[in-house]
Amino acid sequence: MFPDDRTCACYLSLLRWPDGFVCPSCKIASTPWNESRGRLTCPTCRHEASVTAGTIFDKTRTSLTTWFEGAWHVTTAKNGMSAKTLERTMGISYKVAWMMLHRFRVAMVNTERKQLSGNVEVDETYVYDEGPDGKRGRGTTKSIVAIAVEMMAPKGFGRVRMRYVPDASGKSLLPFVRDVVAPGSVVRTDGWKAYNRLPDYGYTREIVVLSSSGDPAHVSMPGVHRVSSLLKRWFLGTHQGSISPNHLQSYLEEYTFRFNRRTSKSRGLLFRRLLEQAVVTNPATMADIIHGYDWKSV
């Protein structure tokens, strides 16, 4: 469907201006002339607008067809792709593949706006950081990831949300719950004191009592247990476990984007959704991406 950059730019302009192009300069609605590299010329005043300015595609030298192909792989492969695999599959440089994936992850976070509600399980899990030599094992540290999972009646899981937190204190965990779970929801947690103040914020806290005989986690907290084991499998399988703490949140966003759309029948819809977000997401700078994106600013 997208043989050249011009076709890609047309598609992006449809997503960006769903009600038709309106010239940013003379404000007249019209059908613009499509030039190369996503430039649109207003037929009335000849103002040159850019479909990619102010989006995640802004100022990249990578062609739009390459971006589109990357978006297609990311959304159609069941588990997404690592930069290494994308490099091999598309024949692009590792650097371009890596940057592209990180920009897509920034676009993915914007899709997760609506708070979870109803019955929600919340717990923390540990993931291992890569060591200084890129290997896990001795000398490596653990990162804590807070997970919230909507529990459906009579069974099954709804949506998830995840956050990399510095520690398991109330100061770290309560803001997470308040951001991602709607007040009035029933929040199931273990007996950890960090969650004691949940009722102050309008939640009904349900404490899961672990019997001394030790119910296995998949019985007492089936939602977070399942999601955390799938997440770890994804890290190890797709990404060979090499995830630095700087980028952990980015990966959690990608995982969440895919998990929350796991029942979507059409992969093409996922592709469209990602590009829809890409044209309304401000570009992340190279520094943002290298040093870890400031997710609170999104």
CB of 8 to Zn ion, least distance (A): 23
CB of 16 to Zn ion, least distance (A): 16
Q: Which residues, in sequence order, are bridge partners of residue 164? A: 145
Task: For residue 42, state whether it binds Zn ion (rule: CB under 5 A).
Answer: yes
CB of 47 to Zn ion, least distance (A): 4
Q: Which of 47, 226, 232, 261 binds Zn ion (CB under 5 A)?
A: 47
Q: Which of 7, 34, 41, 44 binds Zn ion (CB under 5 A)?
A: 44
Q: Could you tell me which residues come within 8 angstroms of residue 179 by beta carbon, excluding any fewer than 6 positions away?
A: 115, 163
Token pair 């499998």: residue: 233
Q: How far apart are CA 296 and CA 253, in angstroms?
A: 13
Name the residue nearer to Zn ion (CB basis): 26 or 209. 26
Residues in 5-34 at the binding interface with Zn ion, rule: CB under 5 A: 23, 25-26
CB of 46 to Zn ion, least distance (A): 7
CB of 33 to Zn ion, least distance (A): 11
Residue type, 74: V
Q: How far apart are CA 32 and CA 183, in angstroms?
A: 46
Selected range binding Zn ion among 36-44, 63-71, 190-198, 203-211, rule: CB under 5 A: 36-44
Query: Nearest CA to 279 among 57, 75, 39, 111?
Result: 57
Q: Which of 29, 31, 45, 244 binds Zn ion (CB under 5 A)?
A: 45
Where does residue 77 rank: exposed (0-12), middle (13-18), buried (19+ CB within 10 A)?
Answer: middle
Helix (H) and strand (E) counts in the chain:
10, 8
Task: For residue 181, state whether it binds Zn ion (rule: CB under 5 A).
Answer: no
Name the residue nearer to Zn ion (CB basis): 29 or 219. 29
Number of residues that bind Zn ion (CB under 5 A): 7
Q: How far apart are CA 174 and CA 187, in angstroms?
A: 12
**Binding stretches for Zn ion (CB under 5 A):** 23, 25-26, 42, 44-45, 47
